[in-house]
């Protein structure tokens, strides 16, 4: 698997990005403000992540997604670890990530990759997303915020 920055004239893999964030408007907004990286195997895009500078010396991993037919193969963990390495190489001191309270697998993954829970944005998904989101039989209401020092 290879990972590279999306080229200026290249279209972002919106189908993958929408797996991680169902709002096309929100995805398009942070795509314009952040840096998009794509992972591919033999010319096929299999994963994506976006790093978005938020404050001095801080970057947020705002979207990370893997093609659904490749879930469970460790690609997500590789992408998270690559995002951490990229942020560190760019001179950031802190990397943050947020996920829904119902995203059980993602919460476990991020903690395995060294992130720690630093807060909760109550009702974030109720305020910012018009459609009800349900994962793992749980309504997604709150944004769980995690971070790690680089």
Tell me, what's the pLDDT at 121? 97
- Residue 126 burial by Cβ neighbours in a 10 Å radius (0-12, 13-18, 19+): middle
At 1, list the tokens: 């698997």
Crossing angle of helices 104-112 and 75-89, rounded to 10°? 50
Q: Tens digit of pLDDT per residue, the chain (150 long)?
A: 999 999 989 999 999 999 998 889 999 999 999 999 999 999 899 999 999 999 999 999 999 999 999 999 999 999 999 999 999 999 999 999 999 999 999 999 999 999 999 999 999 999 998 889 999 999 999 999 999 999
State the Cα–Cα distance between residues 107 and 71, nearest whole angstrom.
15
What pLDDT is attached to residue 15?
Answer: 95
CB 25 within 8 A of CB 9: no
Domains and CATH numbers, the chain: 2-149 (3.40.630.30)
Whole-number average pLDDT of the chain: 95
**Element holding 17 (H helix, E strand):** helix 14-20
For residue 147, give the nearest of 114, 125, 120 by alpha carbon.
114
C-beta of residue 94 within 8 angstroms of C-beta of residue 88: no
């Amino acid at each position: 698997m290879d990972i590279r920055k999306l080229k200026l004239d290249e279209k972002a893999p919106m189908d993958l990005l929408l797996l991680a964030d169902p709002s096309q408007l929100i995805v398009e907004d942070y795509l314009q403000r952040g840096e998009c990286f794509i992972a591919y195997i033999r010319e096929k895009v299999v994963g994506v992540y976006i790093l978005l500078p938020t404050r001095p010396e801080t970057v947020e991993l705002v979207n990370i997604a893997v093609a659904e037919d490749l879930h469970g193969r460790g690609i997500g963990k590789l992408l998270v670890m690559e995002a951490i390495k990229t942020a560190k190489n760019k001179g950031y001191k802190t990397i943050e990530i947020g996920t829904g309270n119902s995203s059980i697998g993602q919460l476990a993954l991020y903690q395995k990759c060294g992130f720690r829970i630093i807060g909760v944005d109550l009702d974030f998904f109720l305020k910012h997303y018009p459609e009800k989101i349900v994962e793992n039989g749980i309504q997604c209401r709150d944004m769980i915020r995690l971070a790690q020092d680089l």
